[in-house]
A and B are shown apart, each in its own frame.
Chain A
């Protein structure tokens, strides 16, 4: 069975400093991985996705993630945090059966200090 583990429930950074949100996955085959963002009381928005092409994936709003098979990791980074980045971030893996269900991590809440 596939799963994802988000290693930090909360991450706090100062505005203008780098962001690192950690995610490890477990999969018996080459996975499809995603990062979603959720602002308070809103639906989820896709930030970026990895589907076995380039291992460094660029997303919206300056975020990127690197797929590292040897480490089974898919960490999300951004060089410089903005106040508007404060939100909850979910690392997600897709089931490769006909349902294409998404398996969500427990989420990481990013706080950005002024």
Chain B
């Protein structure tokens, strides 16, 4: 069966510090991968998605970036965090049409920028 991992589960970082959040998927090949952010009391905002290794699409301008160095690994980064980067970050994967279009979500990372 497929599983999706995210770490760390929680993170407290000062403004201006770097960020690296990691997401890995097991049990499937060539998934579509997604990063979302959920601000307190709000819905989900798609940040990045990837349909293959090295292929990253950005949905919103920001000081975050994403990379996909391996087929089942998706990394969210920042060189300098802002207060507004605080939120709940969710990674997800899907198989597109072959998988029924829905996405499977990881447990999330709670990021607090102080």
Contact = CB atoms under 8 A, between A and B. Distances in A.
Interface of A: 32, 34, 36, 41-46, 49, 51, 90, 94, 98-102, 104-107
A44 to B, nearest CB: 4
Contacts of B54: none
A100 B43 contact: no
Interface string B96-113: 110011111111101000
B90 A90 contact: no
Nearest to A31: B101
Interface residues of B, number: 25
Contacts of B90: 43-44
Contacts of A49: 100-102
B24 to A, nearest CB: 14
Given A41-B88, A100-B96, A100-B101, 9 more contacts: A34-B101, A43-B90, A43-B107, A49-B100, A51-B100, A90-B44, A98-B96, A99-B32, A102-B102
B51 A98 contact: yes
Interface of B: 32, 34, 42-44, 46, 49, 51, 57, 88, 90, 92, 94, 96-97, 100-108, 110
B38 to A, nearest CB: 8
B100 A99 contact: no
Contacts of A100: 32, 94, 96-97, 101
A94 to B, nearest CB: 5
Contacts of B46: 101-102
19 contacts: A34-B101, A34-B102, A41-B110, A42-B108, A43-B90, A43-B106, A44-B92, A44-B105, A51-B101, A94-B101, A98-B51, A99-B32, A99-B51, A99-B57, A100-B96, A100-B101, A101-B34, A106-B43, A107-B42
Contacts of A106: 42-43
Given A43-B90, A44-B90, A106-B42, A99 B105 contact: no
